[in-house]
Amino acid sequence: MRMRAPSTLLLLLCTLLVRAQGNIPFDRDHIADKASLDAALRAMQQADKLAAAGGSAYAQALPLYLQAHAVNPDNAELNVRIGLCHLNGEQRHQAAEWFLRAAALDPAMPRVHFLCGYALQLNAQWDEAIAEFEDHKRRTARNPDPEPTYNMADKQLAECRAGKALAAAPANVRVSNMGPDINGPESDYGVLLTADGGTLFYTSRRANSTGGRVNKATNEYFEDVYASTRGDQGWSVPAPLPAPVNTAINDASVGLFNDGRTLLIYRDVKGTGDLYETRRTGQVWSEPVALGANVNTRYHESSAWYSFDRQWLFFVSDRPEVGLGGQDIYRSRWDAAAQEWGPAENLGPTINSRFDEDGIFVHPDGRTIYFSSKGHNSMGGYDIFRSTLSGGQWSKPENLGWPVNGPDDDLFFVLNASGSTGYFSSVRPGGSGEDDVYQVDFLPDPATQETASAADAPTPAPAATTAAVLVKGWVKDLRALKGLEADIDLMDLADASLVARFQSDRETGEFMATVPAGRSYALHVRARGYLFHSQHIDVSADGNLELALEVALQPLEEGGIEVMRNLFFDRDKADLQPSSLAELAQLHGLLQDNPTLRLEVGGHTDADGSAEHNDRLSQARAQAVVDHLVAHGIASDRLAVKGYGASRPVAPNDTPENKARNRRTEIRILGQ
């Protein structure tokens, strides 16, 4: 999934260099000690063979090159080869000193100034890198390099200038490496976070991967998915997920659904790479299932994320037919009739550049995406960007700025439910080795941040995105008090639109999801053989960011009663408000799914007003519900209407809150 070949300039040592003039070569004229010379030449020959294999073999080649370097430190070509080992190794930023040494020994060496610029850029030494790239451009102006990578100095210069501007106005954030509890000397990336922030999934190439095999193509261990849970003492020791998630080939974590129990993984079963879905019940993961022909192709599909209503799948592919360049971001809509993902659509040139995109994350607000790109105004490698969908158009991607982004790869960004903390993978100085997982905490912007010039100011912190609230709980059988698998919908009461759809765990009944704050929702819980449960949720944008719910479902048996908590009427009237439509649709669905079910719709009021008035009002409101159902195809003989007025309170009529509880509409099962 994560391609560890940053660019062509890091490979093919034998074709990269020509012997420099004006520095000290390895020969008897310059090294009098024949034994030392022979040992150095043998070491370099062995190192060249290892370096040609790539991957982890660079680490094996490095000490051999250093052995030769001890004999002759003033050979420009050897210094470049040592620099290339670092550039391909665990600490890429260490390459700069070796390339600069080579350039000092032989300024005319082909490509050396490009390599200096590239390594200086990785160290955020923007001005020095710009000078080296400009030098390279002057030297190759009349004779372009046969390797296209070395003709991209203009792109590198644009990245350095973007990095310089962004670093001059840093975002008010705190970025920290997650340390040895999470990161090892191998690559760690593809981080995913459950909605409650309690579990991290991520990908690693560790020696304890399933089968312990080395990928011959990359000379690295195969990828496995690991998990770590947060406890009182911090994060637990990461452990690989068991079969069938991890296998002897590459298995990588690329997306996580809102429920925290549906995992998207990458596998290269056919060699090019496809996307799969696996679901957890209790502690057991299902056999991963491929996402279908509209998503997986004979090309490379590398990462994906569900929208929070599960109606869209966003994913990354390098399919050439409709691509805009390299890897692009696509989306497919769920086709409920066909039970598969529909035709893929490219997100277009606003999002996709002519370079690679990857690592898509969809925010719970349903309209904001975060992704990584090598294009736009990246400061080097992949940078993390944000874009918002409005009026059917994606906004211009905004760079999250320094120090979230650095001059190397920054990928697979995800946010916690509150938007206060993000996680991503990055290659930067001080890391444990190659890609590491980092945490970023978004801090309140100081007043000085607001006065930064528009040209230089970084993107506002992602916390400025619509706040999200964690909704979690349990679904149980009212009588047996055992966990139930139930379908759960969260509907926006403003327009009866679906915000999130997920299921509770079949064994434990647990569920969780994150939803945008600042709205009112209808929560509907349905399970076969049970009355559906209705709940009203008001979520303020500045209130509690976590709601815990316990739902007990009643079997479909005579006498069972459920309150319809999302039926709304005009004050002292029987007119149903538009915000009642989501609830009415659920009630209609219950009757359709159970064609012999008969219900009483009962209206109730508080004790204000006369008994006659309350009886009449409650009867009219219950009748309005029945009239709606009949108008939508439910036989009238399956429905009874009863107005109870204030005769059956569920709370004392002594406070506005208790009076609101008494004003309710109930359904009662009459029979089946």
> Between 112-122 and 153-168, two packed helices, what is the crossing angle to 10 degrees?
20
16 plus 163 within the same structural domain: yes
- Given a cut of 50, whether residue 363 has pLDDT beyond it is yes
Does residue 443 belong to any structural domain of this protein? no
Task: Classify the phi-psi angles of 236: left when phi > 0, otherwise alpha if psi is within -120 to 50, otherwise beta.
Answer: beta
563 plus 549 within the same structural domain: no
Query: Of 345, 338, 279, which Cα lies nearest the Cα of 315?
Result: 345
Does residue 448 belong to any structural domain of this protein? no
The per-residue pLDDT for range 224-273, each reduced to its tens digit, is: 999 999 998 899 999 999 999 999 889 999 999 988 899 999 998 877 89
Give the span between the Cα atoms of 320 and 671, in whole angstroms. Answer: 59
Query: Of 490, 532, 540, which Cα lies nearest the Cα of 512?
Result: 490
Average pLDDT for 173-195: 93
The per-residue pLDDT for range 510-557, each reduced to its tens digit, is: 998 888 888 888 899 999 999 999 988 887 656 567 888 999 999 999
- Dihedral Cα 83, 87, 93, 95, nearest 10 deg: 0
Does residue 338 belong to any structural domain of this protein? yes
Band of pLDDT at residue 216, cut at 50, 70 and 90: confident
pLDDT of residue 466: 59
pLDDT of residue 47: 96
Band of pLDDT at residue 2, cut at 50, 70 and 90: low
Distances (CA, A) of 505 to 195, 196, 285, 474, 498: 15, 15, 12, 9, 21
pLDDT of residue 20: 41
Q: Please, which residues bridge with residue 230 across strands? A: 235
Residues 111/93, Cβ–Cβ less than 8 Å:
no
Any idea what DSSP says for residue 169?
A: S
Q: Which residue stretches of 274-349 are H helix?
A: none
Give, for 513, the enclosing helix (H) or strand (E). strand 510-516
pLDDT of residue 543: 56
CATH of the domain at 480: 2.60.40.1120
Query: Between 444 and 289, whose confidence is greater?
Result: 289
Give the span between the Cα atoms of 8 and 6, in whole angstroms. Answer: 7
What mean pLDDT, rounded, does the chain reach? 89
Q: Cα-flanking dihedrals φ and ψ of residue 311, to 5°?
A: -95, -15
- Given a cut of 90, whether residue 431 has pLDDT beyond it is no
- Given a cut of 60, whether residue 449 has pLDDT beyond it is no
Average pLDDT for 592-611: 95
Band of pLDDT at residue 480, cut at 50, 70 and 90: confident
538 plus 584 within the same structural domain: no
592 Cβ contact list (under 8 Å, min separation 6):
634
Structural tokens at position 146 = 């046969």
Does residue 186 belong to any structural domain of this protein? no
CATH of the domain at 308: 2.120.10.30
Q: Please, which residues bridge with residue 424 across strands? A: 438
Any idea what DSSP says for residue 10?
A: G
125 plus 270 within the same structural domain: no
340 plus 489 within the same structural domain: no
The per-residue pLDDT for range 129-144, each reduced to its tens digit, is: 999 999 999 999 988 8
Give the span between the Cα atoms of 257 and 255, in whole angstroms. Answer: 7
37 plus 107 within the same structural domain: yes
The per-residue pLDDT for range 73-116, each reduced to its tens digit, is: 999 999 999 999 999 888 888 999 999 999 999 999 999 999 99
591 plus 549 within the same structural domain: no
Residues 492/499, Cβ–Cβ less than 8 Å:
yes
Domain of 345, in residue numbers? 291-413
pLDDT of residue 592: 95
Structural tokens at position 587 = 């009630």
Distances (CA, A) of 94 to 235, 398, 410: 30, 30, 18
Average pLDDT for 353-379: 93
pLDDT of residue 1: 59
- Given a cut of 50, whether residue 455 has pLDDT beyond it is no
Residue where one domain finishes, among candidates 286, 303, 320 = 286
pLDDT of residue 478: 87
248 plus 344 within the same structural domain: no
Any idea what DSSP says for residue 192?
A: E
Structural tokens at position 3 = 């391609």
Structural tokens at position 95 = 């390459």
Is the peptide bond preceding residue 244 cis, with omega within 30 degrees of 0? yes
pLDDT of residue 528: 92
249 plus 118 within the same structural domain: no
Does residue 397 belong to any structural domain of this protein? yes
Total domains, the chain: 5
- Dihedral Cα 296, 300, 303, 306, nearest 10 deg: -20
Does residue 438 belong to any structural domain of this protein? no
pLDDT of residue 218: 74
Share of the chain above pLDDT 90, in %: 68
Band of pLDDT at residue 195, cut at 50, 70 and 90: confident
Residues 340/313, Cβ–Cβ less than 8 Å:
no
Does residue 427 belong to any structural domain of this protein? no
The per-residue pLDDT for range 329-342, each reduced to its tens digit, is: 999 999 989 999 99
Comparing 499-503, 602-606, 619-623, the range with the smallest average pLDDT is 499-503
pLDDT of residue 626: 97
322 plus 206 within the same structural domain: no
Reduced to 3 states, what is the DSSP secondary structure of residue 368?
A: strand
pLDDT of residue 233: 87
Average pLDDT for 393-419: 94
Does residue 436 belong to any structural domain of this protein? no
Share of the chain above pLDDT 70, in %: 93
Band of pLDDT at residue 446, cut at 50, 70 and 90: low
15 plus 149 within the same structural domain: yes
Residue where one domain finishes, among candidates 122, 147, 168 = 168
Q: ∠ at Cα 325 (324, 326), nearest 5°?
A: 135
Give the span between the Cα atoms of 68 and 47, in whole angstroms. Answer: 10
Any idea what DSSP says for residue 298?
A: S
Average pLDDT for 36-50: 95
523 plus 655 within the same structural domain: no
